Structure 1
């Protein structure tokens, strides 16, 4: 695959991960084989560098720093953001609340809980126990490199009630192309962890990828629901194709479309 240029976008790609991970690991290692295959097809790939357990505001500020570095490094005007899960909310805050729309050409969101996650809402019902866990989690991740961990705040910001307000106060920027995909596990998915969360919170949560429903993920131009794909498999956390979902092929096609659209 070396030497191909079919993923060489006009603007560099910025991959923004979700909650509980960094580019180096955490609950899982995001992106897996994706950066390598995109680079093999000519793409310029960079990372968001957000905290694993920061708030939306913290993550957006860290994305802003990444955008500034990318613009300086590549001498480019804008970037294309591909965001998974909470990373999409951080990117939306970056664009809408921090005035970075002029620096972002496109935002692609993969299972971003734009209308909240009932998983987060139901877990927060056990607030006393969650608060104790959150303090320990923050201390652990502060030692691990998070600059401003705040797991309780991060969880609150994923609830439907919070996202209803967030959506009213974060209008889309007219200069940015927004698109999104959702996912659902289906009957034969092999991701045991996501099948567990799906089973624990279904039917109150509804059919989902284990954490986020397709209805919540829908934003901008909705490209469809990927069936048989878990929340983690969307970012190649397991490093293998499963259930017929070609992870690397999906991202190559996604970026090829950005190329064709002039982004």
Structure 2
């Protein structure tokens, strides 16, 4: 029997065609499984403007890098009016809350809207809760993302290791105040007061308990339950991650893996325990993402095997839209 010589070029072309066909088929299947509405114009078009609020050491942008990386532009692309606010990078919840309230009033005056949808990350969670508590007439909804709603063990450790008045605490406060001032200056927020010790106290378990007594709206009354979905006309939501280390290329993930040790095995995103993040209607508290992934940082280096954070914000905007908010 005579065998014809193998034409490597033809063989390679055949293999490539099969691979391409397989990938195209998988892509088409994936597209058919996606909700059609997510591609429709107006998917994120909420009735009221969306206001994004950063967390501890947060910023609106440093050069080309946004704190909510790629999130505001994606929301705007399908109809949402989005405003990114700037409050103190480090200060008490009440101080940050008053700064935010001033900006909310400015946004309402500029847009003519009656209310806003507040979305806050990390310390931004309690910050937006403060505004909703003191001025519920100006707020349609509160969405806490990885929010420190019942305190953080990391803040407790900092206060325990460096109690107020000690030399180590003085050094710690000086360094963190300096860092927050630099971040605030680079992001166009110079002039805002910075007080990292006040921030850590606000984010501690004791500080959060005191804050919750004054502003209890949406806070679960059980250790790891849900809170009231609606209080004084304001709808409350929350979601968070529970995987501190998610991407080997993200240089900040190892730091979050270390801080996660403060939680003694409890589910956490590296800086906030899942149970502490819960507020109002809990969408999920166990996404396989970490505290920085929750705002699509560092520059989009997130878990490739979990729903992309940008998608989570888009879904929340659509959820608010469908509720008439």
Superposed pair shares fold, TM > 0.5: yes
Residue of 275, 279, 288 corresponding to 1:215: 275
Residue in 1 that maps onto 2:234: 176
Counterpart-to-counterpart distance in 2, 1:196 and 1:202: 10
Structure 2 counterparts to residues 71-90 of structure 1, below 5 A: 71-90=108-127
Corresponding position: 1:149 with 2:194: yes
Counterpart-to-counterpart distance in 2, 1:261 and 1:40: 20
Whether the aligned pair in 1 keeps the contact of 2:245 and 2:256 (CA below 8 Å) is no
User: Once structures 1 and 2 are overlaid, which stretch shifts more, 29-38 or 78-87?
Assistant: 29-38
Kindly indicate whether structure 1 or structure 2 has the higher relative contact order, using CA contacts under 8 Å at least 6 residues apart.
Answer: 1
The root-mean-square deviation of aligned C-alpha atoms, in Å, is: 2.3
SS of aligned partner of 1:224: strand
Counterpart-to-counterpart distance in 1, 2:148 and 2:51: 19
SS of aligned partner of 2:203: coil
Residue in 2 that maps onto 1:196: 258
SS of aligned partner of 1:22: coil
SS of aligned partner of 2:239: strand
Q: Measured at CA, do residues 86 and 187 of structure 1 come closer, stay the same or move farther in structure 2, by a change above 3 Å? A: closer
Counterpart-to-counterpart distance in 1, 2:179 and 2:271: 23
Residue in 1 that maps onto 2:303: 242
Deviation at 1:39, TM superposition (A): 0.8
SS of aligned partner of 1:178: strand
Q: List per-residue Cα deviations over 1:57-85 (Å, max 9, x = no partner).
A: 22111111211111111100000001101
Whether the aligned pair in 2 keeps the contact of 1:17 and 1:87 (CA below 8 Å) is yes
Number of residue pairs matched by the alignment: 258
Residue in 2 that maps onto 1:165: 210
Deviation at 1:260, TM superposition (A): 0.3
Q: List per-residue Cα deviations over 1:149-194 (Å, max 9, x = no partner).
A: 0001100111111111211111324210001112100775542221
Counterpart-to-counterpart distance in 2, 1:146 and 1:75: 28
Residue in 2 that maps onto 1:254: 316
SS of aligned partner of 1:226: strand
Deviation at 1:38, TM superposition (A): 0.6
Q: Could you state the TM-score of these two structures normalised by the residue count of structure 1?
A: 0.90
Structure 2 counterparts to residues 218-233 of structure 1, below 5 A: 218-233=278-293
Residue in 2 that maps onto 1:185: 243
Counterpart-to-counterpart distance in 1, 2:205 and 2:61: 29
Unaligned runs of 5+ in 1: none
Deviation at 1:123, TM superposition (A): 1.3
SS of aligned partner of 2:269: coil
Structure 2 counterparts to residues 22-171 of structure 1, below 5 A: 22-25=59-62, 29-96=66-133, 99-127=134-162, 128=166, 129-139=168-178, 141-142=180-181, 144=185, 145-171=190-216
Q: Measured at CA, do residues 126 and 104 of structure 1 come closer, stay the same or move farther in structure 2, by a change above 3 Å? A: same
SS of aligned partner of 1:82: strand
Deviation at 1:232, TM superposition (A): 0.3
SS of aligned partner of 1:21: coil
Counterpart-to-counterpart distance in 2, 1:82 and 1:196: 27
Q: Could you state the TM-score of these two structures normalised by the residue count of structure 2?
A: 0.74
Counterpart-to-counterpart distance in 2, 1:138 and 1:163: 21
